[in-house]
Amino acid sequence: MGGVEQSKICCIVRWRHHCEIMSKASTKQLYDLANHMRIDTIRMTCAAKSGHPTSSCSAAEIIATLFFHEMRLSKAFPKNPSSDRFVLSKGHACPILYAAWHQAGHISTEDIMNLRKLTCDLEGHPTPRLDFIDVATGSLGQGLSCAAGMAYAGKYIDKASYRVYCLLGDGECAEGSVWEAAGFASFYKLDNLVAVVDMNRLGQTQETMFGHQVDSLSKRFQSFGFHVVVIDGNCVEELLSAYSDARQTTNRPTAIIAKTLKGKGIAGIEDENNWHGKPVPENTIEAIRERFVYKTDVIGKFESKPLIVDAPDVKLPIGKLKIVEPAYKIGEKTWNFTVFSVATREAYGTALVKLGDVCPRIFGLDGDTKNSTFSEKLLKKHPDQFIECFIAEQNLVGVAVGLQCRDRVIPFVSTFAAFFTRAADQLRMAAVSFANLKCVGSHVGVSIGEDGPSQMGLEDIALFRAIPSSVVFYPTDAVAAERATELAANIRGIVFIRTGRLACPVIYDNNEVFEIGKGKIVRDGSSPKALIIGAGVTLYEALKAAEKLESENVEVIVMDLFTIKPLDEDLIIQSAKRAQNRIITVEDHYQAGGIGEAVCQAVSAKDIHVFSLFVLDVPHSGPPDALLDKYGISARCIVDAVLHAIHPPN
């Protein structure tokens, strides 16, 4: 909770050891705990006048048995590296999770009664503003990927005993991301991962695809390589047996298909439709109270199993990572693309290896594009620091979000920039998770050429700029690309690096210093008439345009942005003021949310005129040069735009 002070990592509370098979009394106490939690969820959602008590109540026994019998948790420091992990993929059922931490004594009664208020971090769906939440959920179907990332870290990186439990709803099992995660988890034999499906039959508006046909879901998880146990999910004894079964299963993850009733225990509402996402009458708690075996308050009296403290201490060197200096030769000033040319995607791969050399917790993840993104360089040098995630970009990002939890890993995720759109929702949620995630998208813009529009990243800048607090790099040459990669590793948060397909000349010295939010003036003049702003392939077009303009006695300033977010507003404004208050932006990207709009907003009250060149239509396949020209972002188009800006038509 916001007000609860976190204990330090060294202060691990040792919990009373529960024996493996609980006594009959303990089983009864678990039923009681489930009912206490039911009452909590009803009370807190009544107080909030909104929320999901029925989706919570179906899972009461699942959560009670996990928290007070199966899992090894640290109440004092929930993010303890050796603690088991719990991911509530069906995030709307968070009242039951809050109730569990309340019953554990970690959240006060006052706090749970402030559910969903602006002043309380017990939000409508869970976020890591709470110390016991690793990843935000609430967009369905995403939890299992994050859990699989955590389980991968536990088994292969930390090589520790902690286990990962993920609670899914049955409705969200229609989401493909669940099956991407399932395929990944079984491929990597994540036997420390347990998926529990709360199969309560009812979705938001009607019965799910599966209803109560447990076989249908059971067969799906089996076919995806899981060990599957089907149980009555409101039966404590069956739950305990299933967890034990999972613990004894090796080389594959376990799915527990827990058949439950939505609103279980709430008289008149249990298993009824039309009770999704709304409070139930508060007087229904009386009948639940009647079911207590022991008529006593139990808050704080039950504890989890003790931790097995074997996860290594990890201190990520964020802010201190240094790579070996780049080693390129400057290309010819003719911008001939054959001399000393290197693609920024290749320089990214080179820098990633250098980061991997100095930090074993730098990881590369890719979606079967590693020879195109050049992340395969890391695989070749440090195979233990690379995870092939196959063609499943939602899970690719989800696994990375899982890996970075509790500062276990700094994940670099790469694929074609266009295919990050496949994981746009995962990236949106990664922002809500305040994740430390590095994304590197290659093959941007029409300049990829012949492969055509399906492979061209043309909305990736908008996608990543829209993430609160994100940093977006767009390095132009190999030196800049290596430094962007280094900077990305040293920033906490979501960083995107936009890399290009074409090999382009190196324009910066190897010792050039790059900073976040600082652009470069790469060409200047004594009486410039316009400022041209580019990045990546369009920077070269801008330089070509500048030479052509100079031959016509028009001087311009050319600025290489390097960072698209945050923008170097000061340098843009200063340079524009020197250049008769005229800016021409040019980008290999669509208009919306791109460089042009960002620059327009930055100078929107500065009496500067901005003219923007961008890709307007769905492009066609063709040679890169021809496409740059056809879609209006070539040197020729820039020359025209500058002349038009200087001499506007009447």
Catalytic residues: 393
CA distance 482 to 590: 26
Phi-psi region of 632 (alpha: psi -120 to 50; beta: other; left: phi over 0): left
**139, 234, 304, 414: which one contacts a copy of itself (CB under 8 A)?**
139
Closest distance to a copy of itself from the beta carbon of 303 (Å): 29
Q: Rg of the Cα trace of the chain?
A: 28
* Residue 337 within binding range of a copy of itself, rule CB under 8 A: no
Instruction: Determine the size of the site formed for a copy of itself (CB under 8 A).
Output: 111
Which of 81, 505, 615, 134 lies closest to 315, judged by CA? 81
User: Which range, of 98-106, 286-294, 420-428, 508-516, touches a copy of itself by CB under 8 A?
Assistant: 420-428
Q: At what angle do helices 176-187 and 393-404 cross, to 10 degrees?
A: 70
* Stretch binding a copy of itself (CB under 8 A), from 21-29, 234-242, 400-408, 463-471: 463-471
CB of 477 closer than 8 Å to CB of 514: no
| CB-nearer residue toward a copy of itself: 80 or 394 | 394
Whether 259 and 208 have beta carbons less than 8 Å apart is answered as no
For residue 600, state whether it binds a copy of itself (rule: CB under 8 A).
yes
The only residue of 462, 532, 543, 567 in contact with a copy of itself, by rule CB under 8 A: 462
Q: Tell me how far apart the alpha carbons of residues 463 and 471 are, in angstroms, rounded to a whole number.
A: 12
Q: Residue 159 burial by CB count (10 A; 0-12/13-18/19+): exposed, middle or buried?
A: exposed
DSSP string, 343-375: -HHHHHHHHHHHHHHH-TTEEEEESS-HHHHST
d(CA 151, CA 164): 6
Nearer to a copy of itself, 446 or 479 (CB): 446
The residues facing 444 across adjacent strands are 457
Note the Cα 22 to chain centre separation in Å: 39
Q: Are 142 and 425 in contact (CB under 8 A)?
A: yes
Query: Judged by CB under 8 A, which of 67, 68, 419, 514 binds a copy of itself?
Result: 419
The region of 150-158, 263-271, 389-397, 521-529 touching a copy of itself under the rule CB under 8 A is 389-397
Choose which of 43, 72, 163, 220 interacts with a copy of itself (CB under 8 A).
Answer: 220
For a copy of itself, which residue of 297, 313, 552, 607 counts as binding (CB under 8 A)? Answer: 607
If one asks whether residue 424 binds a copy of itself (CB under 8 A), the answer comes out as yes
Q: Is residue 345 close enough to count as binding a copy of itself by CB under 8 A?
A: no
Q: Which stretch binds a copy of itself (CB under 8 A): 10-18, 63-71, 150-158, 460-468?
A: 460-468
Query: At its nearest, how many Å lie between a copy of itself and the CB of residue 403?
Result: 19
The reply to whether 383 sits near a copy of itself by the rule CB under 8 A is: no
Please choose, from the candidates 575, 577, 579, 576, the residue with its C-alpha nearest in 3D space to the C-alpha of residue 527. 579
Say whether residue 374 binds a copy of itself (CB under 8 A).
Answer: no
**Considering the rule CB under 8 A, would residue 429 count as an interface residue with a copy of itself?**
yes
346 binds a copy of itself (CB under 8 A): no
Which residue stretch of 317-325, 346-354, 464-472, 546-554 sits at the interface with a copy of itself (rule: CB under 8 A)?
464-472
Site residues (CB under 8 A) for a copy of itself, limited to 33-62? 48, 50-51
Q: Shortest gap between Cβ of 147 and a copy of itself (angstroms)?
A: 15
If one asks whether residue 246 binds a copy of itself (CB under 8 A), the answer comes out as: no
Select the span of 160-168, 233-241, 616-624, 632-640 touching a copy of itself (CB under 8 A): 616-624
Q: By CB under 8 A, which span of 100-108, 135-143, 321-329, 483-491 interacts with a copy of itself?
A: 135-143
| Residue pair 514/347 in contact by the 8 Å Cβ criterion | no
Q: Taking CB under 8 A as the rule, which mask of x and - marks residues 530-569 in contact with a copy of itself?
A: -----------------------------------x----
- Residue 300's region, left for phi above 0, alpha for psi from -120 to 50, else beta, is left
Rounded to whole angstroms, the Cα distance separating 35 from 12 reads 29
Among 605, 647, 649, 650, binds a copy of itself (CB under 8 A): 605
The distance in angstroms from the start CA to the end CA of the chain is 63
Q: Which is nearer to a copy of itself, 79 or 129 (CB)?
A: 129
Residue 611 binding a copy of itself, by CB under 8 A: yes
Nearer to a copy of itself, 79 or 609 (CB): 609
Dihedral over Cα of 37, 43, 47, 48: its sign: positive
- What residues pair up with 442 in beta bridges, in sequence order? 416
Using rule CB under 8 A, residue 364 touches a copy of itself: no
Decide if residue 620 touches a copy of itself (CB under 8 A): yes
Q: Map residue 228 onto helix, strand or coil.
A: strand
- Residue placing its CB nearer to a copy of itself in the complex, 25 or 626: 626
Q: Of 174 and 318, which has the nearer Cβ to a copy of itself?
A: 174
CB 370 within 8 Å of CB 440? no
Report how far apart, in Å, the C-alpha atoms of 194 and of each of 22, 31, 248, 256, 273 are: 20, 22, 12, 7, 29
Q: Does 621 bind a copy of itself (CB under 8 A)?
A: yes
| Coil, helix or strand at residue 588 | strand
Give the Cα separation of 91 and 209 in Å (integer).
20
Site for a copy of itself in 88-117 (CB under 8 A): 91, 116-117
The answer to whether 141 contacts a copy of itself (rule: CB under 8 A) is: yes
- Among 111, 158, 191, 376, which residue sits at the site for a copy of itself (rule: CB under 8 A)? 376
- Assess 299 for contact with a copy of itself (CB under 8 A): no
432 binds a copy of itself per the rule CB under 8 A: yes
Is 309 exposed, middle or buried (CB count within 10 Å of its CB: 0-12, 13-18, 19+)? middle
| Contact between 171 and a copy of itself per CB under 8 A | yes
Q: Does 251 bind a copy of itself (CB under 8 A)?
A: no
Write down the least CB distance from residue 176 to a copy of itself, Å: 2
187 is an interface residue for a copy of itself by CB under 8 A: yes
- Only one residue has tokens 């017990």, namely 122
